[in-house]
Amino acid sequence: MMTSIAPRRATRAARDGTPDSHGFATRPYDLVKEFVVALIVVTLLTVGLAAAFSSPDEKAVTMRDWASAAPNDVVATAAGELAGTTKSAGFGPPYNTAANGGSLGPLKLQKWAGVTIPLDSAQDLVLTPLAGVTDNSKLTDALAAWQSAAADQQTQWATDYSDALAKAPDGDPAGVATGDYGPVPAIAAGFLTFAQTGGLEGALTSSGNFYGGDQTKSLLLLADGAYLEDQARARNLGGDQWGMTNETGNYPGQPWMWLYTFWYQVPPFSTSDNADALVWGLMMLLTLGLVLVPFIPGLRSIPRWIPVHRLIWRDYYREHPRR
C-alpha cells in the first residue's frame, strides 16, 4: 500500500539546491552493528584509560587545615568580615546590596536578579558561629562588648585592626601595633581557635538545620581568605592562568573551555572590574553565532572556500566529475 508520504518526500531539493539524500545510489550499511562496535570500543578505551591513569581527587580544604596552615590568614579574614571589607561583604546581589555587581551595558542583570541568598558576612560567617562557643570566657566577653557597641564603633575597631594586621610582619597578630581595636582581636583569636578545633564547618553549614547540604556560607568564608586561592594558583588553576581548562596534577581538564578562559587573559577583560559579565556576554554572543552558523552569510560558506569536503567525499567526486 502506498502512503501519501514517500512520493512527496522522495526527490525534492531544498531551497539551497541540496538534493534529497534519498535520491542517491545506496549501498548496504549496518547502523546497529556500527553502534554496537562503537559501544564496545568506547567501553574498552574507558576501562583502559581508567586503569592506566585513575582520576584526580585532592581532598577538600577543611577549616582546620586552613587554620593550621595559614592562621594569620584566618585572623585577617575574620577581622575583614567584621569590618565589611571582604569579597563576600562587598559582593552585592545575590548576597547583599553592598554593590551593584556586573552589568552588560545598560543591563544590570546582577542587580535585577535581586538578593536571593541574603548574607550578613560579619554576622553569618563570624559572630553567629562563635555564639555557640561556651568554654572561652574571653571570647564570650568580647562578643558581648561587640554587641553592645554602636555600629560606627564596631566598624572603626574592625577596620583599624584589619589595617594594623596588614601592616604587621607576615600579618602576625602578635606583631600588631598597639591601638584601640576594642574586642576585635579577641573575637578574631577566638575564631581561629574555633577553626583549629574543627568545629567551624558545622557551625557554618548546619546551624538550624540538621542536614547541612548547602555549603554557601563555608565556601564564601573560605574564598574570602587568601589560602584557597594560594593553593589554587600553586596548581595553575588561577583565573589568569587559564585555570578554567586545568585540573589538579597532570590530569586532563576541560580543554573545551579554552575560548571562555582565553578572554580573561587579554585586555580589555584582563584589566576590567566587569570582566565576568563582559566575558559571559561575549561568549553568549559567540555561542549564538555557532548555533546560527547555517544562516550567517560568509561564515556558512567557509567550508566551501576551504574544501576539506573534497577530501571527505573524494570517492564521490572522483566518480562524479563536476559538470
Partner 1 sequence: MVLIADGAGRYISSGVIQISVTNLAIIVLMILVFVLAVVLPFPGRHHDDSSDRDS
Partner 2 sequence: MTAVDTGQPPVATPTSWTARLRDRISHIVPPGQALPDRQPAYMSSWIYVFGVLTLAALFVVIATGALLALGGVTWWHVSSLGRFVNSLHLWSVELFFAFMVVHLWGMFWMAAWRGNRALTWMTGVVAFLGSIGTAFTGYLSQANFASQWISTQAKDGLNSVGIGAFFNVLNPAQMLLWHVMLLPLVLGVIVVLHVVLVRRHGIVPPVDAHEETAS
Q: Which of the residues 113 through 152 are near partner 2 (CB under 8 A)?
A: 113-114, 116-117
Residues facing 243 on adjacent strands: none
Instruction: Tell me the three state secondary structure of residue 13.
Output: coil
* CA distance linking residue 20 with residue 13, whole number of Å: 5
- Where along the sequence are the contacts to partner 1 (CB under 8 A)? 6, 10, 21-28, 234-236, 241-242, 245-253, 255, 265-266, 308, 311-312, 315
Provide DSSP, 49-83. Answer: HHHHH----PPPPPHHHHHHH-HHHHHHHHHHHHH
67 is a contact residue toward partner 2 (CB under 8 A): no
Contacted entry of partner 2, partner 1, none for residue 91, CB cut-off 5 to 8 Å set by kind? partner 2
Determine if 230 is a binding residue for partner 2 (CB under 8 A): no
Give Cα separations from 190 to 63, 196, 269 (angstroms).
14, 10, 40
234 near partner 2, rule: CB under 8 A: no
Give me the amino acid identity at 190.
G
Question: Residue 249 binds which entry of partner 1, partner 2, none, with Cβ cut-offs from 5 to 8 Å by kind?
Answer: partner 1
From candidates 131, 228, 241, 272, binder to partner 2 by CB under 8 A: 228
Alpha-carbon span 219 to 95, nearest angstrom: 13
The answer to whether the beta carbons of residues 198 and 189 sit under 8 Å apart is no
Question: Using the rule CB under 8 A, is 239 a contact of partner 2?
Answer: yes
Out of 131, 145, 168, 219, point to the residue binding partner 2 (CB under 8 A).
219
Binding mask 68-107 for partner 2 (x = CB under 8 A): -----------------------x-xx------xx-x---
What are the grid coordinates assigned to 133, written together? 562557643
**Residue 300 binds partner 2, judged by CB under 8 A:** yes
